[in-house]
Amino acid sequence: MAGLRERKKQRTRRALIDAALRLFARKGYADTTLAEIAAAAEVSTRTFFSYFNGKDDLVFHDGEERMERALALLAGRRPGETAGALLLRLVEAGFGWALEDEALTFEEAELRMRLIMEEPALRARALLLMYDSQLKLAAALRQACPDELDEVEAAAAVGALFGAVKLAVMAHLGHERSLKDLQTTGRRAAELALDGLRALETRAAGRIPVEPPGMAS
Amino acid sequence: MAGLRERKKQRTRRALIDAALRLFARKGYADTTLAEIAAAAEVSTRTFFSYFNGKDDLVFHDGEERMERALALLAGRRPGETAGALLLRLVEAGFGWALEDEALTFEEAELRMRLIMEEPALRARALLLMYDSQLKLAAALRQACPDELDEVEAAAAVGALFGAVKLAVMAHLGHERSLKDLQTTGRRAAELALDGLRALETRAAGRIPVEPPGMAS
DNA sequence: CTCTACCACTGCAAAATTGCAATGAATGAA
DNA sequence: TTCATTCATTGCAATTTTGCAGTGGTAGAG
């Protein structure tokens, strides 16, 4: 069932991605022109846009798979599992997937991070993708827990959880850390969102005399 | 101290904004070309880019003021005020500013909403602006409460709070609601983030028999 | 007033993006 | 095999964006 057309398309798609990532790594994102990428993949620049929405999409070519896995996880809610527990399970699974994938394509993950940090256009694209993802996740969560959540609560829950992880991780990307540290940061942020911001008071009260966990400088 | 140069610049800036918003309202965002906007403001298209970073910036021309007010509020933390209380005060103040401004420029606020909904490019820009704002707010929060929060917690707190409000509000913008309803939605989302996602369980438990608050359909 | 440094404005060129329309290869039915 | 349909590919033109360099007016010192 793998028609010639389909195979050729996939080959061209991969050629575009590979050529682009190689060029990005060597010359940087801004200094790589679409003409170069298209030439390296043996297609016209116009054709490029029937494969990707723009130069930035090349960097996020693997977005769909993760989303599907996440939606599947939410749909597979265990009986009696609360929304909070379900979301926590999603976050943990997400960290697992990150290590998984990035073990296979570690260089690519690192390249992506570097590019996102230095190119505002890529940052904007990443944020838009995350936003769309969160809308879908919120809808899925609502589907999974119709009795426990209304639409506002589902959206707020997803937004709070991912907003916390996103900002905490991004804020620390500027500090050059290992993936392990990043994971710890993300987990702490998720915990904070689950416990609620009001819990900060009590949490801080018991900590003042001792070490601020995870500080570097 | 208002040199002729400066006055002329401000006049041109306003001319660009006014012309653009008028054209956007009449012909839509995508169908309005930069050439038209520049012509209406009596400058070259090249000059436009010394006033704004792009067509999308015209829609968000008033972003700085709000940010400054927010940062000032955080800097003016009251003695003994917890981080949670401070953030809550920020959210409430934000809603107040929204009504304030949007009373003066109500049509503009509505236009902006409409444009953001229909143009992905504007959505991306809005998200990037919010992201940058949140980074600044997190830094300011950390400055305001050095004893209560470390960097990760500050970022996570800001991310959770604004992430919740953002996603809840945006999710409901598709449903054509009044500003009043939107405010209620935002407030509920903020409350949820403050209480924490785990609190959803108890919250839901006490609600199942009665009305789901704020539902429409 | 004059001179000089600065700065807003502009055109030009390259690159990114997108709609339109034509072409030709791949596919499936007869 | 043959024919009609589908669709990937392409060129072209318009638009958005950005760096470079030249022009002319503005501001401040003398």
**DSSP 8-state assignment for residue A53:** S
Does B211 have pLDDT greater than 60? no
- Alpha-carbon distances, residue A86 vs A73, A77, A82, A95 (angstroms): 9, 7, 6, 15
pLDDT band at residue B101 using 50, 70 and 90 as cut-offs: low
- Alpha-carbon distances, residue B57 vs B33, B60, B124, B128, B130 (angstroms): 14, 5, 11, 12, 13
Q: Does B177 touch chain A (CB under 8 A)?
A: no
Substitution target in B77, B129, B130, B152 with the highest count of A β-carbons within 10 Å is B152
Show the tokens assigned to A14: 């991969």
Cβ within 8 Å, pair B208-A147: yes
Instruction: Tell me the three state secondary structure of residue A198.
Output: coil
Q: How many residues does chain A have?
A: 217
Model pTM score: 0.86
pLDDT in tens, B137-174: 999 999 999 988 999 999 999 999 999 999 999 888 76
Q: What is the mean pLDDT of each run of 10 residues along chain A (217 residues)?
A: 78 94 92 94 95 94 86 93 90 83 71 88 91 94 92 95 95 75 90 85 53 41
pLDDT of residue B212: 43
Q: Does A34 touch chain B (CB under 8 A)?
A: no
Distance of CA A4 to the CA centre of its chain: 33
Amino acid identity at A25? A
Residue B26 burial by CB count (10 A; 0-12/13-18/19+): exposed, middle or buried?
A: exposed
Q: What is the mean pLDDT of residues B5-12?
A: 84
pLDDT of residue A21: 93
In chain B, whose CA is at the least distance from the CA of A123?
Answer: B128
CA distance A94 to B16: 45
Does B208 have pLDDT greater than 80? no
User: Which chain B residues contact residue A160 at CB under 8 A?
Assistant: 160-161, 163-164, 189, 192-193, 197
Cβ within 8 Å, pair B156-A120: no
pLDDT of residue A212: 43
The whole-angstrom distance between B162's CA and the closest CA on chain A is: 7
| Listed ranges A158-167, B4-13, B87-96; the one with the highest mean pLDDT | A158-167
* Protein CA B164 to sugar C1' C12 (Å): 47
* Nearest residue, CA→C1' of D25: B5
Show the tokens assigned to A59: 């960097």
Beta-carbon neighbour count of residue B37 at 10 Å? 25
pLDDT in tens, B42-59: 999 999 999 999 999 999
pLDDT of residue A95: 83
Structural contact between residues B157 and B132, judged by C-beta atoms closer than 8 angstroms: no
Nucleotides on chain C that have an atom closer than 7 A to a protein CB are 7-20, 26-28
Structural contact between residues B177 and B119, judged by C-beta atoms closer than 8 angstroms: no
Render B144-202 in DSSP notation, one character per residue.
Answer: H-TTT--HHHHHHHHHHHHHHHHHHHHHHHTT---HHHHHHHHHHHHHHHHH-TTHHHH
Q: What are phi and psi of B78, to 5 degrees?
A: -80, 150
Cβ within 8 Å, pair B120-A128: yes
pLDDT band at residue B201 using 50, 70 and 90 as cut-offs: low
- B201's CB contacts (< 8 A; 6+ apart) are A82, A83, A84, A148
Which residue is it, tokens 């490019």? B121
Structural contact between residues B55 and B34, judged by C-beta atoms closer than 8 angstroms: yes
Cβ within 8 Å, pair A159-B87: no
Q: What is the mean pLDDT of chain B?
A: 85
- Alpha-carbon distances, residue A199 vs A43, A183, B165, B198 (angstroms): 56, 22, 19, 11
pLDDT of residue A101: 66
